[in-house]
Structure 1
Amino acid sequence: MTRKTPNLDARWHAALGQITGGLSPAALATAYLDWSLHLIASPDKQAELMRRVLEPSAASETEPEDSRFADPAWSTFPYNLFVQNFLATQAWWNAATTGLPGVDPKHENIVSFATRQWIDVFSPANYALTNPQVWDRTRQEMGQNLVRGMRYWLEDFNRLMSRLPRQSHGFSVGENLATTPGQVVLQNDLIELIRYHPTTKKVRAEPILIVPAWIMKYYILDLTDQRSLVAYLRDQGFEVYIISWKNPTEEDADKGLQDYIDLGIRASIDLIKTTGATRLHAVGYCLGGTLLSIAAAAMGRDGDNAFSTISLLASQVDFSEPGELGLFINESQVAFLEDMMATRGYLKADQMAGAFRMLRSNDLIWSRVVRHYLLGERTQENALLAWNADATRMPAAMHSEYLRHLFLKNDLAKGRFAVDGKSVALTDIRCPIYCVATETDHVSPWKSVYRLLLLTDTDVTFVLTNGGHNGGILSEPGHAGRHFRADHKSEGDRHRTAADWLEATATQDGSWWVHWAGWLREKSGDRRAPRPVLVKIKTPAPGTYVFG
């Protein structure tokens, strides 16, 4: 894609996007128009909704579990009435926005999601006068919680207006985040490649190359001394390399997915091969796994067998069922984002982060409002929150390309995605695959990740672990409450649906990291002395791009 010259339309849409948080008003209006016209033309549906208003028994559907109202105080008068009224309203609107024949399914999902966000604004948990926990805290502290909350609100408002990054008190990259010793062995216009110093006298013949998503800082996989995936793999006797993506600026606006393959994955493989390694284990996380799958398919097409194995962590290759994140992706939305990006050359980090927060607004927005501004409690800082606040930008060309060709057209799953001007097919990947999904993933829903087994013709070990998109992957040994399921599909086996797989696969206690390390060892050659890396770069890990 060639970057657009910002015209009047683009500038207007960019200004409008500052108000809408990057969402296209036209996309939302189109969905509501579709729904409302079909509702007007459905007298039976109208009658059903009227019965729900007039007959309490018809409106008795409520969500059986809602963590907002778990405290016993919500069952006392008058708060129980607030809860019952809110849940009844929520159930009525859920009935009104779903199950209406003729409405485009995607429009139905958009209307249902947007309506749910609007209703959540009026939850009694969000207001001091209707929240018993806030009342109790206010009485106990004589209102000091509200005074602190007002101070916190002013701090956050001033930070937002001044566009300053959120402060991560007590956490700093290179000090207590991303501290595994290593060295930058390659730097180009898009990546720094970090090699971690081996801790064992001998290492496996095949090094490990990790490809994180470009929408996040790489050190999610080297978070702390206790929660570092790269350190764990290193200590298992593997040479570990990881890509640290550059945080793009306006100068990088024209970089596309082909650049991310060439300057990222291919450049890293070339560097690793200079050490004498002929094959390697490739690992991709989130969209990094999608990019790795594309590169691996191109290598398979071209007869390149450099990958001994591929491991995909919470990564999708089929975007036909992307979950609620797909609600933000349609032609109107993509065109709107392209106009916004045309004015600066990249998508701002806070716009993507805002979309992710909306998917879990109760957990990530409203609970924070209540805790910080009504109860007067600051969230205790932790390493994962500090990393989450360290967001990244995305080049205009790349972001547009991946939204259009992966999300909208699903070109990778359909064998139409082109690398080097020629299409690639996932069936050309012949090396074994280890695929990990997480049970409560809002970004890469596990049933969507599972579709990899339908689209490949090689051996696949599929693992489902508890936790979400980040927490489930950070499942280090010794982490309390961790469990996973694992099963193997050999080339030629009959396909099972995700539901059948789940029913047939037993749960195992513990970390999937241990299971994965054993799988990697089985696929590795003999141990040997660590290979020297002859480079002139003297920059130690975590490098310089991570601070961009």
Structure 2
Amino acid sequence: MFTEIAELWQRGEIFSRLREEDNLIGVTPKEEVYREDKVILYRFIPQVKNLLSTPILIVYALVNRPYIVDLQEKRSLVANLLKLGVDVYLIDWGYPTRIDRWLTLDDYINGYINNCIDVVCDRHNLEQINLLGICQGGTFSLCYSSLYPEKVKNLIVMVTPVDFHTQEGLLNVWSGCTLGAKALDVDLAINTLGNVPGDWLNFQFLMLKPFQLGVEKYIKFLESSDSEEKIINFFRMEKWIFDSPDLAGETFRQYMKDFYQENKLIKGQLEIEGNPIHLENIRMPVFNIYAEQDHLVPPISSLALEKYITISDYTVSSFPVGHIGMYVSSKVQKNLPIAIADWLRIREEN
């Protein structure tokens, strides 16, 4: 086994394929339909004739890259949704640079997301579309749906933080919410750095599980990688993990202070450019999906949503995986796309 790995490594075939073959990451054909600054809106090419009449827009987090939802064949949430007749759009936030330091939550939510939704609505002659927010993108989607409930037909949030003051999860401790502490001086960080370096932030995530993510996974890789396919899959995942865009400084400042440190979302105290965000304004059907073993977004943080919305059409579902497993677990991908498509199909005529 180790001889085979050494030979593959020595020949350089793995790295050359990762560098040269774009279809190894982001496997599903797509087309650019809108561009604003560094943000690109993609539509994935439909694969069946009988599509649901209302398309879905995927809003991913600003951290890491959104191609995790289309990382590889047979483990692509996007590809599986397309096969089930869902018309899929996705926002790619791009890579912020120094000129983007002053972008705020208002720019992302009232600007980019709203403009992308308008584009999708115009393309399909609709007044509403479906929204799928993932992780931080789910929190953004909750804010958007509170501000523009008339534009969202159905809302799906996946591994989405809602209550940021849970006592579970080291990320909450690191960000400084525990017992009202200010462990992270956000103002000092942003005033010093400008934008938040993606590599630095990624290092913080890795340090939440230093042994598992820094040592153990590489040992397991050597013990189980007995084929070229497994090795390529491992490096494909590594490429995504370390493909970390910088974060716009002012957006990071607002997000950390208003959400993590002050927990304003569930307190009803959050404002975006003077517009109050109230979760009870969310009037469309909501599907809340969480990972039972999530160390980045504890289940209790996601499940808190039910306490603050007033709609009757609320569905919750979980999967026995961690945060990343929601995207790449083969077992999850057998059931998650079907759950989403069936949930949307039931509400298609409402």
TM-score class, shorter = 0.7 to 0.9
Partner of 2:153: 308
Matched residue type, 2:57:
L
Q: Does 1:440 align with 2:293?
A: yes
Counterparts of 2:23 and 2:337 in 1: how far apart (Å)? 25
Deviation track 1:474-518 (CA, whole Å, cap 9, x = no partner) reads 34xxx35x59xxxxxxxxxxxxxxxxxxxxxxxxxx623212211
Partner of 1:289: 138
| TM-fit CA distance, 1:334 | 3.3
Q: Does 1:176 align with 2:63?
A: no
Change in Cα spacing, 1:524 to 1:348, as seen in structure 2 (3 Å) is same
Aligned ranges 1:41-56 → 2 under 5 Å: none
Partner of 1:511: 335
State which of 113, 118, 129 in structure 2 corresponds to 1:280: 129
- Same amino acid, percent of matched pairs: 26
Matched residue type, 1:514:
I
Contact 1:316–1:444 (8 Å) recurs in 2: yes
Contact 2:128–2:151 (8 Å) recurs in 1: yes
Deviation track 1:77-134 (CA, whole Å, cap 9, x = no partner) reads xxxxxxxxxxxxxxxxxxxxxxxxxxxxxxxxxxxxxxxxxxxxxxxxxxxxxxxxxx
Counterparts of 1:343 and 1:291 in 2: how far apart (Å)? 26
Change in Cα spacing, 1:242 to 1:371, as seen in structure 2 (3 Å) is closer
Q: Which runs of 5+ in 1 are unaligned?
A: 1-140, 142-147, 153-166, 484-509, 527-548
Deviation track 1:396-453 (CA, whole Å, cap 9, x = no partner) reads 1000110000000011111111134121110110111111110110111112111111
Partner of 1:408: 261
Matched residue type, 2:319:
T
SS of match in other structure, 1:434 = strand
Deviation track 1:158-198 (CA, whole Å, cap 9, x = no partner) reads xxxxxxxxx96643573211121111111112410001111
Matched residue type, 2:112:
G
| TM-fit CA distance, 1:257 | 0.8
* TM-score scaled by length of structure 2: 0.85
Deviation track 1:369-395 (CA, whole Å, cap 9, x = no partner) reads 86799xxx9x94423222112112101
Deviation track 1:243-276 (CA, whole Å, cap 9, x = no partner) reads 0002111111111111111332101111112121
Counterparts of 2:59 and 2:98 in 1: how far apart (Å)? 23
Partner of 1:348: 197
Counterparts of 1:168 and 1:392 in 2: how far apart (Å)? 21
Change in Cα spacing, 1:408 to 1:344, as seen in structure 2 (3 Å) is closer
Contact 1:168–1:386 (8 Å) recurs in 2: no
Partner of 1:327: 173
Counterparts of 2:297 and 2:217 in 1: how far apart (Å)? 24
| TM-fit CA distance, 1:327 | 1.4
Partner of 1:541: none
Contact 1:210–1:284 (8 Å) recurs in 2: yes
SS of match in other structure, 1:315 = coil
* TM-score scaled by length of structure 1: 0.56
Rg larger in 1 or in 2? 1
Partner of 1:465: 319
Partner of 1:58: none
Contact 2:76–2:327 (8 Å) recurs in 1: no
Contact 2:47–2:83 (8 Å) recurs in 1: yes
Deviation track 1:43-83 (CA, whole Å, cap 9, x = no partner) reads xxxxxxxxxxxxxxxxxxxxxxxxxxxxxxxxxxxxxxxxx
Matched residue type, 2:264:
D
Matched residue type, 1:513:
P
Contact 2:121–2:129 (8 Å) recurs in 1: no
Counterparts of 1:251 and 1:347 in 2: how far apart (Å)? 13
Change in Cα spacing, 1:456 to 1:169, as seen in structure 2 (3 Å) is farther
Change in Cα spacing, 1:364 to 1:298, as seen in structure 2 (3 Å) is same
Q: Does 1:520 align with 2:337?
A: no
Counterparts of 1:461 and 1:473 in 2: how far apart (Å)? 20
For the aligned residue pairs, the C-alpha RMSD in angstroms reads 2.7
Aligned ranges 1:98-117 → 2 under 5 Å: none
How many residues in Structure 1 have an aligned counterpart in Structure 2?
Answer: 325
Q: Which runs of 5+ in 2 are unaligned?
A: none
Structure with more contact order per residue of length (Cα contacts < 8 Å, sep ≥ 6): 2
State which of 399, 406, 420 in structure 1 corresponds to 2:252: 399
SS of match in other structure, 1:274 = helix
State which of 87, 95, 103 in structure 2 corresponds to 1:239: 87
Change in Cα spacing, 1:404 to 1:238, as seen in structure 2 (3 Å) is same
SS of match in other structure, 1:461 = strand
Partner of 2:50: 202
| TM-fit CA distance, 1:332 | 4.3
Change in Cα spacing, 1:369 to 1:212, as seen in structure 2 (3 Å) is closer
SS of match in other structure, 1:255 = coil
State which of 267, 270, 275 in structure 2 corresponds to 1:422: 275
Counterparts of 1:287 and 1:169 in 2: how far apart (Å)? 33
